[in-house]
Structure 1
Amino acid sequence: MKSFLIFISLFLRAVQNLPDCSFDVCANGGMWSEWSTTSKCPTECGSCSKNLYTRKCMSTNFPNCPCVGDTYRYILCNSKTCVYPAQRTCCIPYVPMIINGSQQCGPFPKDPDRSSESPCCPKGGFWSTWSAYFRDGEKKAWSRTRRCLTEEAGCPCTDPGTTIETSTACPCRKLVDVSSLVKTNLGTYTLNPVYNDEDCTASQVMESQKSAVGEPCNEYTSWKYYRWTNAVRYVKPGRSDYVGIKISNCEAAHEKKIFLYCDRETLNYRLAINNDEVYGYNQIYQ
């Protein structure tokens, strides 16, 4: 046990120089700290007592890396053989034997939770997920950050220069012309949004001259409030079907626009009118 305690001490002092693991840490039950104790062994020899040891899961906040196993256990302490006038040399069921060149009371129980390759660091370390983009007024740019989750455990992440990403343009993915998916038996206008990098929005002026033949406005005779409307069809990210939506009253006097804003976490634009994420859209006409 003395050699085991020395090993723990060396581990704590050398924690910044751990080798990379040769196995998948998360598939192997997570990243645990070493077993440690603050208790003093109540007996001086003979493997007669155990101390309470605890360990901490160091991968709790790592992505998809929960720990599997116990957080505490009792481990033999003071395993050297007792000498006269002790009542016995070793406490039952242990017997005297030579272990690591010295006389000990053993054999020691096998430790199923201890790998011959531990302690070690996950290859490359673990990064947190990126934060949402935020406006950096000094740089006049959009920035996002992340941090190395394993650094406090003595396991630095690779690529330490990538703790921050900055973009002068709005970081959201540009909208896509999806006319091939939405036109069916209708006509479509070209996608032509105007992007505002300062506030991460996009907009497009609708074609809106009322026409009895249906171009560019669409006739909705059953519509409660007005007959002619601007309409678009849009496709959501990861989908191939489309959604149709009325944008504005063609007969109204104001300029008719479609407005979208950037979701700085998903990095997709969302329609201001209903908050749906949008991969691409086109104005349609009959």
Structure 2
Amino acid sequence: MWRLQFFLISLSILPLVNTATCPTCPTGGIWSDWTAVGTCATTCGACSTLKYTRTCLSDALKDCKCSGPTTTTQLCGTQACNYPRVNGPKPPCCTGTPTVINNWYHCVNSSTSQTGGSTFCCPTGGIWGDWSAWAKKDEKSVEFTRTRSCLSGGLNCVCDGEIEETKYACPCAPLKTITPENNPCASKTTKTPFAMRDPAYFPSTCDATVMLENSNFRQPFYSYNDKKGSYTCTTGFVNQAGQCQTGEFPTGDNDTSGQFWRFTFKCNLETGAWDRKFDDYDMKGITHIAQFF
């Protein structure tokens, strides 16, 4: 006598397997298993059909869209019925013929649709999401943390590495000075960067202090700007992409006493670079700065 066992032979459902050779995004994306909608009307003989659905698990991953149907209708209750049946001398299969699969008889039709069929796998190390912005634990501490999510965890693909990262100093690297030898602003101005000193760096408070000459004492920084109606000097600042922007920085007069302008920049915890807002323009996400003469 054949025991009754539900077996979905019409759906080729393969589990995720760990392998070191899997691409980050397998061809066709990464799908969930097929899930039955409702209950099969019959328990044997492949006499009924049932709707199945699946979801794209890799939509959350970068550049890993799924291709293929999200729903399908397939035979259900494919375990071959006992013969003769309790309610009459009907054949063991309404559809197909009894075939031994995994030591059980199932009703198999040569035209049965094999949905799915892709061998899914786990990329080496799993798939991590982007790191969050750094956040300071509290105002009194110098502890900064950021987190990330294992996007492939729901696919039974474990990620290697830590979910949380901690630093006990400012996440922004020190703000640097543009030098004549390393001057991305050369195409913006014919003037020369003044590389006397790097900005002061305060890792515990995530501040950087820039000292700009407020006179022509050391170099001819300032000239009269008719549009602004004051003396200005050229400043340049470079962003994380290495692009330079220049602007005219004002001063109150043409003093030659050798005094300085002091400006404080704040670390942007999202970009990991430095920001400062001025009246005429913003310095955002910068890594280097200089006064030109």
TM over 0.5: yes
Provide Cα deviations, 1:133-186, integer angstroms capped at 9, x if missing partner: 111237522221112223344322112xx2222222221233333233246643
State whether residues 13 and 33 of structure 2, in contact with CA within 8 Å, keep that contact through their aligned partners in structure 1: no
State whether residues 210 and 217 of structure 1, in contact with CA within 8 Å, keep that contact through their aligned partners in structure 2: yes
Q: Counterpart in 1 of 2:290?
A: 282
State whether residues 141 and 168 of structure 1, in contact with CA within 8 Å, keep that contact through their aligned partners in structure 2: yes
Q: Counterpart in 2 of 1:96?
A: 97
Question: d(CA) in 1 for partners of 2:240 and 2:70?
Answer: 43
Question: Could you tell me which of 222, 233, 237 is aligned with 1:234?
Answer: 237
- Gap change, CA 1:50 and 1:256, over 3 Å in 2: same
Listed as ranges, the matches of 1:222-261 within 5 Å are 222-226=226-230, 228-239=231-242, 242-251=244-253, 256-261=261-266
Q: Counterpart in 1 of 2:267?
A: 262
Question: Could you tell me which of 202, 207, 214 is aligned with 1:201?
Answer: 207
* Structure 2 gaps, min length 5: none
1:255 shift after superposition: 5.5
State whether residues 204 and 257 of structure 1, in contact with CA within 8 Å, keep that contact through their aligned partners in structure 2: yes
Q: Counterpart in 2 of 1:29?
A: 28
1:43 shift after superposition: 2.8
Question: d(CA) in 2 for partners of 1:275 and 1:188?
Answer: 17
- Gap change, CA 1:68 and 1:199, over 3 Å in 2: farther
State whether residues 207 and 216 of structure 1, in contact with CA within 8 Å, keep that contact through their aligned partners in structure 2: no
1:262 shift after superposition: 2.0
Query: 3-state SS of the aligned residue for 1:31?
Result: coil
Q: Counterpart in 1 of 2:116?
A: 113
Question: d(CA) in 2 for partners of 1:38 and 1:221?
Answer: 75
State whether residues 142 and 171 of structure 1, in contact with CA within 8 Å, keep that contact through their aligned partners in structure 2: yes
Give the root-mean-square deviation of aligned CA atoms: 3.4
In the alignment, residue 176 of structure 2 is paired with which amino acid?
Answer: V
Provide Cα deviations, 1:45-72, integer angstroms capped at 9, x if missing partner: 4322111112232223223323222222
Provide Cα deviations, 1:93-150, integer angstroms capped at 9, x if missing partner: x4324231444332262424123x44x4333222121110111237522221112223
State whether residues 175 and 201 of structure 2, in contact with CA within 8 Å, keep that contact through their aligned partners in structure 1: no
State whether residues 95 and 105 of structure 1, in contact with CA within 8 Å, keep that contact through their aligned partners in structure 2: yes
- Gap change, CA 1:258 and 1:232, over 3 Å in 2: farther
Listed as ranges, the matches of 1:140-151 within 5 Å are 140-151=142-153
Q: Counterpart in 2 of 1:49?
A: 48
In the alignment, residue 208 of structure 2 is paired with which amino acid?
Answer: A
Question: d(CA) in 2 for partners of 1:34 and 1:81?
Answer: 24
Q: Counterpart in 1 of 2:168?
A: 168
Provide TM-score, normalisation by structure 2. Answer: 0.76
1:208 shift after superposition: 1.4
Q: Counterpart in 2 of 1:177?
A: 177
1:268 shift after superposition: 1.9
- Gap change, CA 1:80 and 1:234, over 3 Å in 2: closer
Q: Counterpart in 2 of 1:130?
A: 131
In the alignment, residue 221 of structure 2 is paired with which amino acid?
Answer: C
- Gap change, CA 1:57 and 1:9, over 3 Å in 2: closer
- Gap change, CA 1:142 and 1:248, over 3 Å in 2: farther
- Gap change, CA 1:35 and 1:86, over 3 Å in 2: farther
Provide Cα deviations, 1:179-231, integer angstroms capped at 9, x if missing partner: 332466434321420123233232212111246xx9343102413331x2243
* Structure 1 gaps, min length 5: none
State whether residues 13 and 116 of structure 2, in contact with CA within 8 Å, keep that contact through their aligned partners in structure 1: no
- Gap change, CA 1:72 and 1:230, over 3 Å in 2: same
Provide Cα deviations, 1:13-48, integer angstroms capped at 9, x if missing partner: xx9xx5337532623222222112252221344322
Question: d(CA) in 2 for partners of 1:271 and 1:22?
Answer: 46
Question: d(CA) in 2 for partners of 1:247 and 1:96?
Answer: 86
- Gap change, CA 1:67 and 1:218, over 3 Å in 2: same
- Gap change, CA 1:74 and 1:272, over 3 Å in 2: same
In the alignment, residue 146 of structure 1 is paired with which amino acid?
Answer: R
Aligned residues: 269
State whether residues 213 and 260 of structure 2, in contact with CA within 8 Å, keep that contact through their aligned partners in structure 1: no
Question: d(CA) in 2 for partners of 1:163 and 1:21?
Answer: 21
Higher strand share: 2
